[in-house]
Chain A
């Protein structure tokens, strides 16, 4: 619309009609946003309802977490911390910020190993997810439109069913006397049951299984848009399918790979249910430590410091994700 206006104006030049056109374009047909901005008092209300909600229930909580992470732990208090603000006897406001919780996080070996383990689990699971998801997304994107709909439905359906129960289902499969061991022993492939439950292997399986749709869907959305004539051209020029894949399809699908990987990596770092149900109790992930500090030790300042540290770690991936998300939403515009 605006582009049309500009080109029309340049066509007409700035003859005698110029100022008149100028006027027409300035006060011409109202765009929804312009109209609302200039005419409707209610717009502020429409903007402010979701805005205030998010400020109160999403932003304010983080500020409170930040505040409490600097507070002093008071094991017997209700709530169990001392306020960082205090009125001194002379009536002056004192602010006491303690960094003990943070320095504890940096120096306690348990925490350091939990951080490294969480990052490792998230990174390995993301790569495994990508390896499993890429061929699946590729096959769906190249299927006929009718079967494509059914296949997508099959991918999304588990996502709608309970996450907790799908993780639970793996306990029955992976246990020492579970289905996989029974089948393998029944077939005579192994003599003694494999120890799969409560290992890192079980955590990887659980995360890859639960987050697979999050990887497949962005990849599919990207692969589906590819121009297949590029592959034909490459073939005509003598390039083999493997080479065409690595020099055309893979580079083109990079945005889908990044989006899917972030959708898996970010929540996997803070994953709580999967490691507590399937993982080992010797090697904890950071989310489990946070919840233990909070519920078992009632150390709210330390739990808050863990949360802030996790956020700082994830802020860069989250911002990259939002950047891609916004580009995707803008790209939808026809």
Chain B
């Protein structure tokens, strides 16, 4: 009984903590419907209004930046998933090999690396590569979408690696072993057994990589050339000048889209997991 009474303090703290997490977002959403140009003064006579949303869809630079960000994020997430899955598989299943410790370090270090360091080092690499390619092959390439993508793949693949590796570590390799035993080639074992088993991890890894890339401003600012402007870079340059009602509208849209997507994905994954559990139970009972 005493233990139960002890729980009340954490519960109150949890409620306050959740309020702390959501209050700023809710305030931002409410003020996106405010008619006043002075963002924090509520214009009761003419609000709520969709004025800033209309303005947003007529703002060509915002739309162009959003389209660029979507393409960069989708391609970076796909690249990160391919490389991260390979790295996770190698670390979880391939046993000891020379250089494994280095790979392990390289694969998880980007998780905690300060963004300014990643951004600076990537930019200096691209500058050196630019010089090298110009001198050796006479190629000329400009920094832009490609360099942003390469940088994003590199820092988001670490997240995919960790997710995939921990999923692989959560079940043993007896199924894979059995398939190898029955004479399947390793590539076939990977595509028919390992891949379906780690698919939930790959999917959440892709979503994670997508949102990280979609959200990144610091690394992009370093590696983007003069031409490429992603949505976060655009927002950042507006926000530095102060609060801006059209940014409130944009933020509201982004928050709502992401929240819907994440909730739908979570519910679907939960359902799939329940179905699998039920099937396993039935299989056990039947066997």
Restricting to A255-310, which residues have a CB under 8 Å from any CB of B?
262-263, 266-267, 269-273, 276-277, 287, 290-291, 294, 300, 303-304, 307, 310
With an 8 A cutoff between CB atoms, is A163 at the interface? yes
Restricting to B1-34, which residues have a CB under 8 Å from any CB of A?
2-3, 5-7, 9-11, 13-14, 17-18, 20-25, 27-28, 31
Name the contact of B177 in the complex, choosing from A29, A42, A177, A321 (C-beta under 8 A): A29
How far is it, in angstroms, between the C-alpha of A310 and the C-alpha of B119 when the chains are bound?
14
B181: chain A residues at CB < 8 Å are 29-30
With an 8 A cutoff between CB atoms, is A158 at the interface? yes
How far is it, in angstroms, between the C-alpha of A177 and the C-alpha of B89 when the chains are bound?
53
With an 8 A cutoff between CB atoms, is A51 at the interface? yes
With an 8 A cutoff between CB atoms, is B65 at the interface? no
How many B residues touch the partner, as a band? 35 or more
Residues of A participating in the B interface, judged by any CB pair closer than 8 Å:
29-37, 39-40, 42-43, 46-47, 49-51, 53-55, 57-62, 64-65, 68, 79, 132-133, 135-136, 138-140, 142, 149, 151, 153-158, 160-166, 168-173, 175, 177-179, 182, 209, 212, 228, 231-232, 235, 240-241, 245, 262-263, 266-267, 269-273, 276-277, 287, 290-291, 294, 300, 303-304, 307, 310-311, 314, 317-318, 321-322, 325-326, 328-330, 332-334
How far is it, in angstroms, between the C-alpha of A60 and the C-alpha of B122 when the chains are bound?
9
Restricting to B206-246, which residues have a CB under 8 Å from any CB of A?
207, 211, 214-215, 217-218, 222, 232, 235-236, 239-240, 242-243
Contact (Cβ within 8 A) B169 A64: no
How far is it, in angstroms, between the C-alpha of A245 and the C-alpha of B5 when the chains are bound?
13
Task: Given the known inter-chain contacts A142-B10, A241-B6, A322-B105, please indicate yes or no for A334 contacting B170, CB distance below 8 A.
Answer: yes
Task: Given the known inter-chain contacts A33-B95, A57-B150, please indicate yes or no for A132 contacting B20, CB distance below 8 A.
Answer: yes
Contact (Cβ within 8 A) A303 B120: yes
Contact (Cβ within 8 A) B262 A262: no
11 A-B contact pairs sorted by A residue (CB < 8 Å): A30-B180, A32-B93, A32-B180, A54-B107, A64-B121, A140-B14, A153-B263, A168-B247, A171-B242, A241-B5, A326-B104
Name the contact of A231 in the complex, choosing from B3, B103, B189 (C-beta under 8 A): B3
Minimum Cβ distance to chain A for residue B168 (Å): 9
B10: chain A residues at CB < 8 Å are 135-136, 138-139, 142
Binds A, one of B46-54, B138-146, B252-260, B278-286: B252-260
What is the chain A residue whose CB lies nearest that of B267?
A153
Task: Given the known inter-chain contacts A307-B120, A333-B172, please indicate yes or no for A34 contacting B13, CB distance below 8 A.
Answer: no
What is the chain A residue whose CB lies nearest that of B238?
A168
What is the chain B residue whose CB lies nearest that of A311?
B117
Contact (Cβ within 8 A) B154 A33: no
How far is it, in angstroms, between the C-alpha of A64 and the C-alpha of B262 when the chains are bound?
39
Task: Given the known inter-chain contacts A161-B254, A179-B27, A291-B116, please indicate yes or no for A241 contacting B218, CB distance below 8 A.
Answer: no
Minimum Cβ distance to chain B for residue A45 (Å): 10
Contact (Cβ within 8 A) A290 B116: yes
Minimum Cβ distance to chain A for residue B88 (Å): 9
A175: chain B residues at CB < 8 Å are 40, 243
A170: chain B residues at CB < 8 Å are 24
Restricting to B88-142, which residues have a CB under 8 Å from any CB of A?
89-90, 92-95, 97, 99, 103-117, 120-122, 124-125, 127-128
